[in-house]
Amino acid sequence: MSVAVIIYDRGMGRWEPNARGRLQQAAMDLFLERGFEQTTVTEIAERAGLTQRTFFRYFSDKREVLFAGSDTLRDLMVDALVSAPASAAPIDAVAASLQAAGAALQEGGEHPRRRQAVISANAELRERELIKLASLASALADALRRRGIADPAASLAAEAGIAVFRIAFARWIADPAQPDFPQVIRESLEELKAVTTGR
């Protein structure tokens, strides 16, 4: 039940994909075919028709292929939170941030689901994802404090928001008939409201 915190590389879908996109695609294919552990950087480069040297120009190791998008996602979420109207309540600013992330992941087509399958199959990757999500919550709490929201409201809104995001993501990828991730996020936020008020 972790979340795809990698952003779709817009280069990936073009007819002449770039080296980065080709490496990502090759790595994901191999991770899914053979498992993350069993895949080497040499094999990823070969499958992409590139050299190992090129691989290391883009990624520090094979795990980085899965997590390179985390910082981009965090920046996108923080930007959305910062750009919410000054009058927005903390939870609504967080909601705007989750919506932005949801829309970005949805644009990734099959990538978030494929990535999630790789991560779910490996304990070390699940832990890494958990840590990334915790730092995402910290970044949102920081951004809320910069909006003048005091603690504990800032931390609570950020942590609750990330919990909603994880749960909505799991629901979204579990149901291929539900194409609208931002919609699942909205519903999950409503559910959280209902749950915390004791319904």
Q: Which residues bind a second copy (CB under 8 A)?
A: 1, 89-92, 127, 130-131, 134, 151-153, 155-157, 159-160, 163-164, 166-168, 170-171, 188, 191-199
Residues in Cβ contact with 117 at an 8 Å cutoff, skipping those fewer than 6 apart: 32
> Hey, what long-range contacts does 117-123 have (CB within 8 A, 24 or more apart)?
117/32, 118/28, 118/31, 118/32, 118/36, 118/66, 119/2, 119/4, 119/66, 120/2, 121/35, 121/36, 122/35, 122/36, 122/37
Q: Which of 114, 119, 104, 101 is nearest to 165 (CA)?
A: 101
- Closer to a second copy by CB, 30 or 125: give it: 125
Shortest CB 79 distance to a second copy, Å: 22
- Closer to a second copy by CB, 177 or 195: give it: 195
Question: What is 90-106 written as a DSSP string?
Answer: HHHHHHHHHHHHHHHHH
By CB neighbour count within 10 A (0-12 exposed, 13-18 middle, 19+ buried), where does 26 fall? Answer: buried
Shortest CB 12 distance to a second copy, Å: 30
- Closer to a second copy by CB, 8 or 67: give it: 67
Shortest CB 193 distance to a second copy, Å: 5
Shortest CB 47 distance to a second copy, Å: 32
- Closer to a second copy by CB, 42 or 196: give it: 196
- Closer to a second copy by CB, 7 or 93: give it: 93
Shortest CB 134 distance to a second copy, Å: 6
